[in-house]
């Protein structure tokens, strides 16, 4: 699930990325990766919430399109079912989630 809150004072959007617990299986950690962090699999850890979901919040520039995915500790790469779209990955046969702001 993706929640977008557009800021009134800057050309940014506060984006909350949420990964449901049932997609995580037995993994204990999940990271948010995308072109906003050069696909770094350690720079944006998601925090486990009381409800069991994992979440991360970023401020991103408005007027941009971002590709992203979630990667679990067992190296499973997951897409977001609520993404604005999907795009073919330039490095694998998979698709990336797309976020349009």
**pLDDT tens digits, 10-38:** 999 999 999 988 888 788 899 999 999 99
Looking at residue 92, what is its pLDDT? 79
Q: Tell me the average pLDDT across 35-57.
A: 93
Give the total number of structural domains in the chain: 1
> E strands of 1-101, at which residues?
2-6, 12-19, 30-34, 47-48, 54-61, 65-72, 77-78, 85-88, 95-100
Tokens describing residue 9: 């004072």
Q: Do residues 33 and 70 make contact, with C-beta atoms less than 8 angstroms apart? A: yes
C-alpha dihedral, 50 to 37 to 22 to 85, nearest 10°: 120
CATH number at residue 88: 2.60.40.10
Q: What span, in angstroms and rounded, lies between the C-alpha atoms of 24 and 29?
A: 9
């Amino acid at each position: 699930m993706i929640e977008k809150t557009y800021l009134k004072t800057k050309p940014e959007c506060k984006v909350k990325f949420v990964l449901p617990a049932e997609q995580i299986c037995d993994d204990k950690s999940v990271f948010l990766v995308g072109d906003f962090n050069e696909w770094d699999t350690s720079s944006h850890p998601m925090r486990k919430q009381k409800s069991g979901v994992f979440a991360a919040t970023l401020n991103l520039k408005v007027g941009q399109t971002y590709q992203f995915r979630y990667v679990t500790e067992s190296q499973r790469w997951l897409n977001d079912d609520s993404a604005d779209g999907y795009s073919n990955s330039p490095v694998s046969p998979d698709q990336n989630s797309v976020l349009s702001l």
